[in-house]
Amino acid sequence: MKQENEKKFIFGSLFVLANRLQLAGDQFDPQVTMKQWFLVAMASQFREPPTLSALAELMGCTRQNVKKLAVLLEKKGFLELRRDGRDARALRVVMTPHCYTYFKGREAAEDELLETLYAGMSQEEIAALHQGMKHLTENLEKIEARMEEGFKA
């Protein structure tokens, strides 16, 4: 029974932590919301400017949500939305020089924020949390696949 309660606690805590991280992140920088920062962080993972669809898949949300965030960032001068040269239906997210400069300028503050977030955790705890998050992600992918096949609770 103890392990079942721990599982339920972890499950609920993921939602609470996500909400609290978003609130803290939104207060961290009034210029860029946490979700906007996440889009930029994920876009930087690609070798070439990603499409909205590719970003949505990586971020785990809809293309429409990514487009809304991208349009707001475009208005702020952080990125440009450009039609793909090979597929006119696809929009690519291109980060601007202003984007690179801006986020480079807040790197030290971001590092300090992460250090504070993980303060008091041993390397072993961080490694175990990392491994646990990987397992949860893999299991969630299995659930998503079952949902596509018509799995019902």
Q: Tell me: do 21 and 94 sit in the same domain.
A: yes
Contacts of 79 (CB under 8 A, 6+ apart): 40, 43, 70, 73, 93, 94, 95, 96, 99
Q: Are 34 and 25 in contact (CB under 8 A)?
A: yes
User: For residue 86, what are the domain limits?
Assistant: 2-119
Q: Tell me: do 144 and 95 sit in the same domain.
A: no
Strand partners of residue 51: 92
Q: Tell me: do 38 and 71 sit in the same domain.
A: yes
Q: Tell me: do 99 and 127 sit in the same domain.
A: no
- Per-position pLDDT tens, the chain of length 153: 788 899 999 999 999 999 999 999 999 999 999 999 999 999 999 999 999 999 999 999 999 999 999 999 999 999 999 998 888 888 999 999 999 999 999 999 999 999 999 999 999 999 999 999 999 999 999 998 888 887 766
Query: pTM of this prediction?
Result: 0.86
- Considering its fold, how many domains does the chain have in total? 2
Q: Tell me: do 81 and 147 sit in the same domain.
A: no
Q: So what's the pLDDT on residue 148?
A: 81
